[in-house]
Amino acid sequence: MTRTALKILEDFDGEDRVLSLYMSFQGMSAKQASIELKNRSRGVDREFQQGLSRALDEFSDRFGTFKDPRAPRGVALFTARDGAFAALELPNPVNGEYVMDAPAILPAVKAFSPFRDAWMVLLRRGDARIFRFGHRLSEADRISEEIVRPVRDAGFRGGEERRIERRSETSLGRFLKDLKWRIKELDMEFPSREVWLSASEELLPEALAALQETGLPVRPIKLRGDDDLHRLEEDLREAMERRFFQESEELVERILEGPIRSALGLRQVIDAVNRRELMKLVIEDLEDLRGVRCGSCGALGIDEPQCPLCGGAMGEEENLQEAIARRAIRGGVNVVVLGRPSAIREHQGIGGLLRNPR
């Protein structure tokens, strides 16, 4: 999500007013979502109508590419007065409307935080379906090969049946090797961060070993419905959300461990962001906070009359969280929004890890 947010910010560099329109389509069909988009667009300020119309056209065209009638769970539309626009499909529903001097990207970061680009492999003996997951599941390839069944009982024809067993092991190994190389080929074209694998207990150990040779983390997953794309997508989303909860709890613990490697609270985080010292930024949830920003170098503050970096005059910053996130993302920082209460609540709900220990 950081790369996507950075591109959106770069697309609107130099704009003085940007409309960010977030809409939820939870439970809607594609047709209902299209109607909702048009209805919401009628209430938008006239100065943004040109860009919004183009964004709506682009996003509506995407409905025709869906293989099922479901609409996305949400959309973020960004547009400026000169007609510049961007449209972003969201994995979770978000509502909100913002007009600022830059796109409001934190609601999108919150929606995407639990998810990572990934491959999912649905493996059955002699058949592997490969799916790509960004925020929606789509089938990327399928590999099928007849594999000799192993022999359970050698009996009095043990020699012959042992040869069949060896043939089975060889054909399975070849099949898994082909699968490994296909994943690597696909990942070169569309890089992802991990592989999720669904396989029977019989195949799982060998499949895990083979796919780990791709160099990507491989995570086993249990599925409830193998043939229903919607069910597969929901199972993977739920697994990623569980993983996000666990990993973010560990991340918060690392931030709270001590002052050497972390920044806690608004003042420490702002100082680290200003000085490009932050590696990861964690925000508990979205809040309406005001602060200040330097008119010369862009450094942020809470209530300082003078810039802590260049000594310039500080002006009002209407959305301090957004400003912190934007400056962090432009500096290559990974930004995470938890979307729930956490142990950093006592530190104004914000913290981060530093690039180098103090």
Tell me how long the chain is: 358
Residue 31: its pLDDT value, please? 73
Residue 136: its pLDDT value, please? 80
Q: What are phi and psi of 304, to 5 degrees?
A: -70, 135
Residue 2: its pLDDT value, please? 80
pLDDT higher than threshold 60 for residue 149:
no
Residue 156: its pLDDT value, please? 45
Contact between 68 and 17 (Cβ < 8 Å): no
* More confidently predicted of 31 and 139: 139
What are 5-11's contacts with CB under 8 Å, separation 24+?
5/105, 5/108, 5/109, 5/325, 5/329, 5/335, 6/329, 6/330, 8/78, 8/86, 8/88, 8/103, 8/105, 8/108, 9/102, 9/103, 9/105, 9/326, 9/329, 9/330, 11/78, 11/84, 11/86
Q: What is the mean pLDDT of residues 21-31?
A: 81
pLDDT higher than threshold 90 for residue 132:
yes
Q: What is the mean pLDDT of residues 178-183?
A: 94
Report the DSSP pairing between strands 218-220 and 85-90: unpaired
Token pair belonging to 240: 């990623």
The C-alpha atoms of residue 292 and residue 320 are separated, in whole angstroms, by: 8
Give the gyration radius of the chain's Cα atoms: 25
The C-alpha atoms of residue 208 and residue 93 are separated, in whole angstroms, by: 34
pLDDT band of residue 46 (cuts 50, 70, 90) is confident
Only one residue has tokens 């009628």, namely 42
Helix (H) or strand (E) holding 266: helix 265-274
The C-alpha atoms of residue 263 and residue 249 are separated, in whole angstroms, by: 16
pLDDT higher than threshold 70 for residue 153:
no
Least confident of 133-137, 142-146, 154-158: 154-158
Q: Strand, coil or helix: what is 3?
A: helix
pLDDT higher than threshold 60 for residue 357:
yes
Contact between 139 and 130 (Cβ < 8 Å): yes
The C-alpha atoms of residue 358 and residue 354 are separated, in whole angstroms, by: 8
Q: What is the mean pLDDT of residues 2-9?
A: 89
Token pair belonging to 204: 């799982």
Q: What is the mean pLDDT of residues 121-140?
A: 88
Residue 53: its pLDDT value, please? 79
pLDDT higher than threshold 80 for residue 154:
no
The C-alpha atoms of residue 344 and residue 281 are separated, in whole angstroms, by: 12
The C-alpha atoms of residue 69 and residue 42 are separated, in whole angstroms, by: 25
Contact between 348 and 259 (Cβ < 8 Å): no
* More confidently predicted of 96 and 72: 96
Q: What is the mean pLDDT of residues 129-149?
A: 82
- Shortest CA distance to 78 belongs to which of 88, 91, 67? 88
pLDDT higher than threshold 80 for residue 10:
yes
Residue 62: its pLDDT value, please? 65
pLDDT in tens, 211-223: 999 999 999 998 8
**pTM of the model as a whole:** 0.84
pLDDT in tens, 277-322: 999 999 999 998 999 999 889 999 999 999 988 889 999 999 999 9
Q: What is the mean pLDDT of residues 90-115?
A: 92
pLDDT higher than threshold 90 for residue 106:
yes
Cα–Cα distances (Å) from 357 to 101, 113, 230, 260, 354, in that order, read 34, 26, 45, 5, 7
pLDDT higher than threshold 90 for residue 256:
yes
pLDDT in tens, 329-344: 999 999 999 999 999 9
